[in-house]
Chains A and B, each alone.
Chain A
Amino acid sequence: MIPKIKKHKDNVSDAKERLKNLGELISRTYSQMNSQGDISAFAKQLSEDIANLKGVLSDLPPKIESMLLTLKEMKNGSEPDDTADYWEEK
């Protein structure tokens, strides 16, 4: 009976050890999943923000160029005297 009990004790101990390992694995996997989930969420958010930023960066500079050209022409139109189209703006 004694060897049987000892063997059973070893089995229990082994199962406990494996259970502990399993717990650690689950915990690691959980952390990994969490990190990867956060990374994925950040990446998605970053991708959206970058797309919005690129949208502004592609739309605004040509608009500014056109407006500067318009203002330049308005300035040209402010000469030579108060009969000019844009005298007030000069």
Chain B
Amino acid sequence: MALLQAQKALQEIEDTLLKKEGDITNQVNKSKKTQDIPTLQKIQDTLHNYKNEINDLLNSAYDQRDNVLEVKKKMNDCELPVNINMRANEIDQFREKLERIIEDFKDLKQADEDFDGSSDSEAEIKTLIHQIEKKVQEFQQELQEFNRYQKGTLGKYTRQDFLDDNNAPIIVDVREFKAKIGDAFARLKDIETLTNDLNSKLIIQDIENATKLLEVKNKKLRERLEIAKTELSKINKCGDEMDGNCSRNEEEEFIEALKDEMPEVFKNIEGNFEQIDKVDQIIIEIKTTKSIEMMQTLKVEIDDASIKVEQCEGLVNKLENEIIEWDALKKLCRRDEELEEIDHLLKDFQNDLETETSQMYPKLDQNTKKLELSTAAPDIEDFTKLVEGIKEYIGDVEKLQREVCDLLEEKDDCYEEFDNDVPRIVKKERDIRRKQKALIMTPSRRKSQK
């Protein structure tokens, strides 16, 4: 690994330097105490050799520094902005799931209020509701803490912090925060189990009330499935637009996987809608027949549909995270930088061509005059060739100038379109980049050569 190699090489350089430094000081001190010319010349030769050796060490140290800086360049911001965005998305997913559970819980509480069961079952239900309410409060508090940490701590880090050598603690913070969110998300399962338990208890109490509850649940499942389908369609469209425009292998693999798997996913979603339609039919039948067997079938179908809808939502979350990892902002900034680079190159080229034409026209005049003044046949022939050559050259240069102008216009149009579409943050990054470029100074290095 480059860094470990550099570390080892620098240690060796330091060891060698320590040995040499003492010898050099000795030689210099010795030169001050003697006037003997052969001795002085010997010291001079020795120091000359040391100079070359130290110079080699210095160049070797600079090489190691280049290697380290190359690694640093590759590490860039260590994907920290992307990972922080991922955390925001994970919090969002957590919030959505919690809100859905709270919504379901409200329906269940309403169902409980609508029916008076036996005092035993009511007591059990009330205990369960109390437990769920307590847990909901805890989760809501946890969500607030997540938001506070995301905005207050992670949100306050700047690009400079991400690029800093000592950014390891930020990586740890972001990773530990992921674990916290993941843990809370997993614990939502407990509250879901409690609400399912409450649901079952309410169903046992009253078949009519239960049918109503399951009808509401089925309606919500349909809504959730429709949202998931819309999100997946968006992701699929995004994949189509990205096809052929990927900048990394992972993205290409993702697009290929999308192309292969999405038709099957959409087919499954249609199957899920059919299942939800079937549940609606069962509910209608139960309302007239009040059949206990049908009620059991209904429960099984609803539970199965719930799992499938959750799988769809899980897929949406997973794919959304993958798209966040693409880091669209960085891509836009890169395109912006490339447009700027094109602008600089074209303007440099244009200046070169202008200099060339401004130098060639006087030469053309000069040689045309010489041709006019020439009387000897060989002179006339030579000057004619020269004048024709210069004219041809000027013609080529002017053709290039026109092409460069066309390219500049094309670039301006492209830039205008791009600039209108990109978010403000890309323009902000552009300003920062320009300021940094203006600050870059030529490093003084390798000035001492052998």
Contact = CB atoms under 8 A, between A and B. Distances in A.
Interface of A: 28, 31-32, 35-36, 38-39, 42-43, 45-46, 48-50, 52-54, 56-57, 60-64, 66-74, 76-77, 83, 85-86, 88
B129 interface: no
Given A53-B58, A77-B171, A42 B44 contact: yes
Contact of A49 (B6, B58, B165): B58
A52 B40 CA distance: 27
Contacts of B258: none
A63 B68 contact: yes
Dominant secondary structure of chain A at its interface with chain B: helix
Interface string B41-56: 1011001101100110
B166 interface: yes
Interface string B95-135: 00000000000000000000000000000000000000000
B381 interface: no
Given A60-B65, A86-B79, A50 B21 contact: yes
A85 B83 contact: yes
B408 interface: no
B150 interface: no
A39 B34 CA distance: 12
Given A57-B13, A60-B6, A66-B166, A38 B44 contact: yes
Given A53-B61, A64-B6, A76 B175 contact: yes
B78 interface: yes
Nearest 6 interchain pairs by C-beta: A35-B40, A66-B165, A42-B47, A73-B171, A56-B61, A69-B168
Contacts of A60: 6, 10, 61, 64-65, 68
A57 to B, nearest CB: 5
